[in-house]
Amino acid sequence: MRILLNVSIPHEQFNASVRDGTVATKLERILDEIKPEATYFTELHGRRGAVLIVDLADPSKVPSLAEPWFLTFNADVEFRVVMTPDDLQKAALDQIGKQWG
């Protein structure tokens, strides 16, 4: 199952890592660990942020996606299940509509 992670990173922790020269190593370590399909760094609610797409085969792996961000940067992490157009096609919306419509 594909998961979209929205990561919002507090300025203080990230700034400290920038100043002490460890930010690149920390980010690389997190990304190497969670192996996202795609990663985009952006602004989220006025804070530094990242948006990642991760394939999650087992729900018990959710902590392994979130904890590196929590423990490294004191970040907020939100999870959303996402689908490709092919996934949505497999959902059989027409049948669900007939059943519930």
Asked whether residue 101 carries a pLDDT value surpassing 90, the answer given is: no
pLDDT digits (tens, 9 = 90+) for 49-87: 999 999 999 999 999 999 999 999 999 999 999 999 999
Question: Using 50, 70 and 90 to split pLDDT, how confident is the model at 3?
Answer: very high
**CATH no., domain 2-84:** 3.30.70.1060
Give yes or no for a contact between 32 and 78, defined as CB atoms under 8 angstroms apart.
Answer: no
Backbone angles phi, psi at 57, to 5 degrees: -80, -25
Average pLDDT for 17-43:
97
Q: Is 84 helix (H, G, I), strand (E, B) or coil?
A: coil
Asked whether residue 27 carries a pLDDT value surpassing 90, the answer given is: yes
pLDDT of residue 48: 96
- Please state the domain extents for the chain: 2-84
Average pLDDT for 26-39:
97
